[in-house]
Amino acid sequence: MAFPMGSKYREVSLRTATDYSSAIQLLEALPVFLSGDEHKKRRKSMALVYAQTRKLQEKAIAQVVDEVGQSIEHRHGAFNLIDELSIPLWTALRNVICSESREVKDLASELPDLFYPGLSPRKRKRLNNKLADILKSGNGQLLNQIALLTLGVRPFSSSLALSIHKIARDNDGKRLCEIEFPTSFPDSALTYVDRISMRDTVVDGCPFSAGSRIRCITFDPSYSEENNSKQLYGIGSHTCLGRPISDYTWIRLSNILSQSQKTIHPNALSVEHREPFTIPTKCLVDFK
Ligand code: HEM
């Protein structure tokens, strides 16, 4: 069963006498943290909102990919994979998925910090309060739109930057047109999902007691490319809802890049581990 993040917040809220009600409202609307019928219901509701803009998402992504391709063609030197690739692509996607104000969309980019165990109580409370203000005034689809952005922002934007940097490390100095691009993201910002064992069980010889937390790895450099691409978006009933547009983005981007005569070279990379995500804070390559 899924890890019940909302219940954990309820416990902390009671123990510390802190109001986290809006954070709980969001967490209990996120399918990743739900199981059974509740999960099915929430997933369906979000899938409908996602599907409404499916064609527009592709159009918006295609346009930004073309612009990125042009800017690479005119570059001789450093290219910032965060500012010039992942942020513009995510901004295009989020603007199509969510019709709310920029303030709402910016908050949604911070909301994944609610999953981060190391977040200070002060920042947790700040996010809760900002979310409370926004949920008060929202329309019927607001929660679904915020939920999609919250779950999509870090895997999408960070995996894009990390993946192109990985291509540069693996193909230092090669012409883009000579690189065999993988059919799926070669690196991921989200490498595991947690589950709760419903009964005493044994998986691959490892015993798990009922109620224990199990970390299921979805991506690891030691796994084969084939295994990683199979599990990148999770497996089973919780499989990623944003997979179609993420796959589309990767294919479109690698197609554009693979037509270029430019060479690619890795430059600076630094990352921050904000569980469960690995977020690049500096991610540069050179195109020459
Ligand atoms: C490269 C990009 C992405 C990667 C690697 C990725 C990865 C994942 C993974 C591993 C899960 C968990 C599956 C599980 O619990 O078994 C997941 C769930 C989810 N993702 Fe993504 N994701 C990406 C992009 C997106 C985008 C762009 C969106 C939304 C616009 C999105 C929305 C969701 C949702 C709603 C779920 C929850 C599904 C459920 O629990 O039923 N994802 N994703």
Q: DSSP labels for 56-102? A: HHHHHHHHHHHHHHHHHHT--EEEETIIIIIHHHHHHHHHHH--S-H
pLDDT band at 99 (very low <50, low <70, confident <90, very high): confident
Task: Report pLDDT digits (tens) over 142-170.
Answer: 999 999 999 999 999 999 999 999 999 99
Task: Report pLDDT digits (tens) over 10-55.
Answer: 999 999 999 999 999 999 999 999 999 999 999 999 999 999 999 9
Asked if 80 and 284 count as a contact pair (C-beta separation under 8 A), the reply is yes
Which pLDDT does position 139 carry in this prediction? 72
**Mean per-residue pLDDT for 230-252?**
96
Instruction: For residue 77, report the distance from its CA to the centre of ligand 1, in Å.
Output: 34
Average pLDDT over the chain, rounded to an integer:
95
pLDDT band at 73 (very low <50, low <70, confident <90, very high): very high
Q: Burial of 148 by CB count in 10 Å (0-12 exposed, 13-18 middle, 19+ buried)?
A: buried
219 within ligand 1 shell (Cβ under 6 A): no
pLDDT band at 69 (very low <50, low <70, confident <90, very high): very high
**Mean per-residue pLDDT for 54-77?**
97
Helix (H) or strand (E) holding 47: helix 36-52
CA distances from 52 to 32, 47, 93, 145 (A): 21, 9, 13, 11
Helix then strand count (H, E) for the chain reads 10, 7
Task: Report pLDDT digits (tens) over 126-141.
Answer: 999 999 999 987 777 8
Task: Report pLDDT digits (tens) over 246-271.
Answer: 999 999 999 999 999 999 999 999 99
pLDDT band at 84 (very low <50, low <70, confident <90, very high): very high
89 within ligand 1 shell (Cβ under 6 A): no
Which pLDDT does position 235 carry in this prediction? 86
Ligand 1 atom nearest 231 alpha carbon: 10
CA distances from 47 to 1, 51, 89, 110 (A): 20, 6, 21, 22
DSSP string, 163-226: HHHHHHHHTTT-BGGGS---SS-SS-SB-EEEEE-SSSEEETTEEE-TT-EEEEE---TTS-HH
Nearest CA to ligand 1 atom 2: 156
Angle at 196 between CA 195 and CA 197, to 5 degrees: 120
CA neighbor of 188 nearest in space, from 228, 224, 159, 151? 159
Q: What is the pTM of this model?
A: 0.96
Nearest CA to ligand 1 atom 21: 240
Is the confidence at residue 79, as pLDDT, over 90?
yes
Taken as a whole, the chain contains a residue count of 288
274 within ligand 1 shell (Cβ under 6 A): no
pLDDT band at 203 (very low <50, low <70, confident <90, very high): confident
Instruction: For residue 239, report the distance from its CA to the centre of ligand 1, in Å.
Output: 7
pLDDT band at 9 (very low <50, low <70, confident <90, very high): very high
Asked if 100 and 127 count as a contact pair (C-beta separation under 8 A), the reply is no
**Mean per-residue pLDDT for 57-81?**
97
Instruction: For residue 271, report the distance from its CA to the centre of ligand 1, in Å.
Output: 21
Instruction: For residue 215, report the distance from its CA to the centre of ligand 1, in Å.
Output: 16
Specify the CATH superfamily of domain 5-182+244-287. Cytochrome P450 (1.10.630.10)
Q: How is the chain split into domains, by residue range?
A: 5-182+244-287
The pair of three-digit structure tokens given for residue 210, joined into one six-digit string: 């009922």
Which pLDDT does position 254 carry in this prediction? 98
190 within ligand 1 shell (Cβ under 6 A): yes
Handedness of CA 76, 80, 83, 87 (dihedral sign): positive
User: What span, in angstroms and rounded, lies between the C-alpha atoms of 288 and 285?
Assistant: 10
Q: Which amino acid makes up residue 215?
A: R
